[in-house]
Structure 1
Amino acid sequence: MLARASEGSWPFGLNFLIPILDRIRYVQSLKEIVIDVPEQSAVSLDNVTLQIDGVLYLRILDPFKASYGVEDPEYAVTQLAQTTMRSELGKLTLDKVFRERECLNSNIVHSINQASDEWGIRCLRYEIKDIHVPPRVKESMQMQVEAERKKRATVLESEGTREAAINVAEGRKQAQILASEGQKAEQINKASGEAQAILAKAEAKAKAIGMLSDALTEQNGGAAASLSVAEQYVSAFSNLAKESNTILLPSSAGDISGMVTQAMTIYGTLAKSSPKAAVAVLEEKSDNFRCPSSP
């Protein structure tokens, strides 16, 4: 007979049986064995009675210990798995039983292996199949799940409203910033335009004064200036009848030659010290001869 023997029995290889004296007492399989653990009741840490069953996977590592160390190894391991499962469930609350099923399986395997080493058996893994709770507890769990779902929906809705409000406020803020920047740019452009206009007017006036000053320094420039002042004086008085305004006139308003002589005298005095100042005075006198416009 060709067989594998355990410790203290036949060695490996070819062995012979002596009729009547020798006989095969136990036959052990070294394959992985699957055992269905029957459903049993267990109480969780929060005093909830559960109905739970599982599947146990084991393998015989030492046939001699499995044969002579325990009467029925499979039954012994099954009972050990049930007691260990009840013990481990008593350490967890109902919520943790569902959440930590993988950890519970590992703890059961570890506890079984500590006791089954003397039997030559190794527990490979344990899987919980079904967990049944009482109807009232199941209803309470369902209500809790619905409440949690409503809570999450409310939180999500409030967060959505909050995000929408933030987006609206941020949009208004950006719009106000853009509007203020637009107004700022508009004011800067307007001020720049006014400054350029004032500068252009000043440059034009300076050029006009320079040209007038150059013209007055030429031959017969004084006579031309006197003629221009006289013409503006006469033109101003000719327009008085066209306006309905009441104005005050000097007593010598009819003395054209006197007014021209006065203007030219002032011009001659200033021309000696500052030609540009003289031109400015001449322009001011000419402006005084213009009629004021209607309001």
Structure 2
Amino acid sequence: MKKNKVFVFAILIFALVMAVFAFGLSTIKTDVAVRRPVNFPEIVQQGPALTVEGVTLGQKLFDDALLSKNGKIACASCHNQVDGYASKGIKINPGVNEAIHGTMNTPALMNLQWKTSFFRDGRESHLQNTAINALTSPAEMGETMDNVVKKLNASPVYKHYFKSVLGVDTIQQKDVTGVMEQYLLSLVSANSRYDKLVVKQEHTFNPAELEGFKLFKEKCASCHTGDLFTDESLRNIGTATGNTGSRKFKVPSLRNIEVTAPYFHDGRFQTLEEVMVHYATGVHQEKDLDPLMQTNGKAGIPMTEDEQKKVIAFLKTLTDHAFINKMTLQ
């Protein structure tokens, strides 16, 4: 009899867990602390407390085209997990309005808790506002926040979800952006072969990768600093973007760079080989060219073809296959 009771209890627990996964939500809130990787600095973005249910609901919104004006584009339409939350092969993603085009390549999403600013031009300092921009920009999802909230309140399913997760009877804008922020903050990428080398001391690099690592530290790490592989600065890297507007753009993280092509703010380069050639021989001598992009008074960072190949070999050790292929909640 005792064994039967234990068996029944186990079945009930299993059913409860499966229900949470099936519906993505539960009336029982499960706090989750996204752990700071030991090789990462202190967190910058102090967002809302994360719960499994809040992150799950945020992901549901991230994946739902209902939030766009025409019901055809979701956040995940441009930020694809398998592409490191970027858009493989697409220079500029189209939005809901064919007559209005964006000007910037879709940036990869990861490790957002450590960012000091967002977008290619660094114009935003609050993560929640990036979601509002995506939802309302005419070049992206083209909706208004009022309409987003109205559509969610008109959905019995979402009404139930928000009631279960946040305890609200009427969904408001802050509820929408809050759970979306929870999901974005959960996107932590820190499980590449590089991490296994520096954290676990697992010597998995081959000679070319090791040599590339040395070259990277010598030629690239002034901007792509630390284990986040970015100093979060805005820099002019000699891309000749014209004489109007800023020519300075965010230094991107190089994590998952192998899968996030095309590269640069306008998606001009399709391969890492093209990127390396730019730095070695294609940097334009401009008035406000960043000093780190000059060597002995000349534009560029000299690298032989062999050195370029070795740097690329190292960069590919930054791919976090668990992050791009599996559940991302840490």
Is the TM value for this pair above 0.5?
no
Calculate the TM-score normalised by the size of structure 2: 0.19
Q: Which has the higher helix share?
A: 1
More strand by share: 1
The structure showing larger relative contact order (alpha-carbon pairs under 8 Å, at least 6 residues apart) is 2
Q: Larger C-alpha radius of gyration, 1 or 2?
A: 1
TM-score by length of 1: 0.21
